[in-house]
Amino acid sequence: MDGFKRIFRTAAFRNYRLFFAGQRISLIGTWMQRVAKHRLVYHLASSVFLPGPVSFPGLIPAFVISPFAGVLASAPAAAFIHCNTDMDHSAGRHPLAETAGR
C-alpha cells in the first residue's frame, strides 16, 4: 500500500490538483473538437473516406519527427540526451514554480 500512496502523493498539493483538473478539461475539449470535425466532414461530404484526409495534416509533425526521434533516443548517448532533456524540462519548471508559489 505504501507504493500506492507514493504514486499519488502529488495530489496533496493544490496547484497540482488545479493543473490536473485543467488538463482533464483540455483533453476533453480536444476530443470533442476532433469528434465534431469528423462528424461535420462526414455530414457535409457524405463520405466515410474524407474525415481521414482532413485529420491527417494535424498528424504530419508526428509522422515526420518520430523516426528521427526514435533513432536519436536509441543512440549510444541516450543517457546524455535524457539527462539534458530532463534538465531542459526542469529549467522551464523552476520559473513556473516560483510564480505559482507566490
The per-residue pLDDT for 55 is: 84
What pLDDT tens digit does each residue of the chain (102 aa) get?
A: 577 778 788 888 899 889 999 999 999 998 999 899 889 999 999 888 888 888 888 888 888 888 888 777 776 665 666 666 655 555 555 555 555 555
Which pLDDT belongs to residue 32? 93
pLDDT value for 52: 87
41 close to 54: Cβ distance less than 8 angstroms: yes
What is the pTM for the complete model shown?
A: 0.52
